[in-house]
Amino acid sequence: MERADEEIKKEVVDQLYWDSRVDASGIKVMVVDGKVTLSGVVRTYTARKAAVNDTWVIPGVRLVQDRLLVRYTVEVPPDEQIERNAVNALIWNPNIDFGNIRVTVNEGLVSLEGTVDTYWKKIIVEDLLANITGVLVIRNKITVVPTESQEDERIARDVIGALGRTNLVPVGTVTVQVRSGVVTLTGAVPDSMTRLAAEEKAAHTVGVVDVQNQLVLGTGSE
C-alpha cells in the first residue's frame, strides 16, 4: 500500500530536524506521488548531502530532487585556498593516488577530473571535499579505470554474490546487468535502506566503473 504524500512529507521534515548536520529551518519539502523536492538554503555542502541522504531513507520516497543552495555563514576563502585545501585533503588520504586526479575551483564549484582504479575511490574523493569550507557544488568527472581487466559476466557474478551474502537485500529482488563495467541495478526493494545497501555492494566490487541504481521501492509497479 502506497504511503500518503503528507505522511512522507512529515517524516522527511522530522528526519531533517533530527539531523544535527542540517539546519532544517531553511529547507522547504514538497512531495508529489512519492517524489520529494528539497529547496531552500543550507549552510554547508555537507549539510546539503546529508539532507538528500536523510530523505532517501524515508519509506515511500521514490525520487529526490535536490534544489538546495549552499550559503556559508562563515567567511569563505577564495577559490585558490579552497583548491589548496582540497588538494591537501586528497594527498593525505592513503586510499587516493592524487597523482592521477586534477582539482579546479571556480566560484566555489569544484571540478574533479582524472582516474581511479575502483569506483568506491571516486565516491571517497567527493566525500572528502564535501567537508571543505567554501565548496558549493562538486562535479565529479573522475573516470574509473580498473588495473585488472574484469569481464562483465564475472563482475555481475561478484555483485550478485555480494548481495547474496547480506541479509539487507532480499534474495531475488534485484537484477544485475553489467556492460563495459557499468552496473545497472533494477527491480523492486522494500525500502530505501535496502536500495542504498544494494548500491553500496555494487560500488565496492572490483572492476565496476559506475553504478546506475534504478531500483524502485515497493512492488515495482508505477
The string of pLDDT tens digits covering residues 33-64 is 999 999 999 999 999 999 998 998 888 888 89
CATH code for the domain of 177: 3.30.1340.30
Residue 88 lies in a domain: yes
Share of the chain above pLDDT 90, in %: 69
Q: Pairing state of beta strands 35-42 and 27-32? A: antiparallel
- Last-in-domain residue among 45, 70, 95: 70
Q: How many domains are there within the chain?
A: 3
User: Which residue range forms the structural domain that includes residue 170?
Assistant: 152-217
Residue 160 lies in a domain: yes
Count of helix runs (H) and strand runs (E) in the chain = 6, 11
Q: Are residues 129 and 158 in the same domain?
A: no
Decide if 104 is inside a domain.
yes
Is residue 134 located within the same domain as residue 159? Answer: no
Same domain, 188 and 132: no
Residue 220, pLDDT > 70, answer: no
**187 forms bridges with which residues in the sheet?**
174
Classify residue 222: in a domain, yes or no. no
156 vs 54, 60, 116, CA distance in Å? 29, 28, 20
Which tops the pLDDT comparison, 106 or 217?
106
pLDDT digits (tens, 9 = 90+) for 172-190: 789 999 999 999 999 988 8
Q: What does pTM read for this prediction?
A: 0.73
Same domain, 85 and 32: no
What is the predicted pLDDT for the residue at 1?
Answer: 57
